[in-house]
Each structure stands twice: as structure tokens, then as C-alpha cells.
Amino acid sequence: MKQKIIDFVTGVNKEMKKVTWPTKDDLKESTYIVIVVVLLFAAFTYLIDMVVAQLLKGLF
């Protein structure tokens, strides 16, 4: 059991050395993209909701 834990931790350390971490600029750019996409999706959802509400209001 102890050897399995040691092997696991050793493997994790080896894999973490292979990781390429994003730069601060990359992280900022990705954050801006996510914010813009979320806002666009929210606006689209709002518009669809308004259209469906008006259609349902007209039916009843």
C-alpha cells in the first residue's frame, strides 16, 4: 500500500513537470473571451424568452 502511494505521488510529480501553464496575458485573453460569450448567450436567451413570451401571450 505504501509503495502504491509513493508511485502515485512520483507519477503526479512527473506529469506536473510536463504541464505548460498559461501566461498572465493568455489567462486575461481567455477570461475576456469567456465573459463575452456568456454575455452573448445571455442576450440570446433573453431575446428568445421575450419572443416565446409574446407568442404565448398572443395565444392565450
pTM of the model: 0.66
Amino acid 11: pLDDT: 97
Question: What pLDDT is attached to residue 58?
Answer: 87
Residue 48, domain member (yes or no):
yes
Classify residue 8: in a domain, yes or no: no
Domain that holds residue 33: 20-60
Q: Is residue 2 part of a domain?
A: no
Q: How many structural domains are present in the chain?
A: 1
32 falls within a domain: yes
- Segment 8-58, tens digit of pLDDT: 999 999 999 999 999 999 999 999 999 999 999 999 999 999 999 999 998
Indicate the Cα dihedral angle 48, 53, 54, 60, nearest 10°.
150
Whole-number Å distance between alpha carbons of 4 and 11: 10
Residue 41 belongs to some domain of the structure: yes
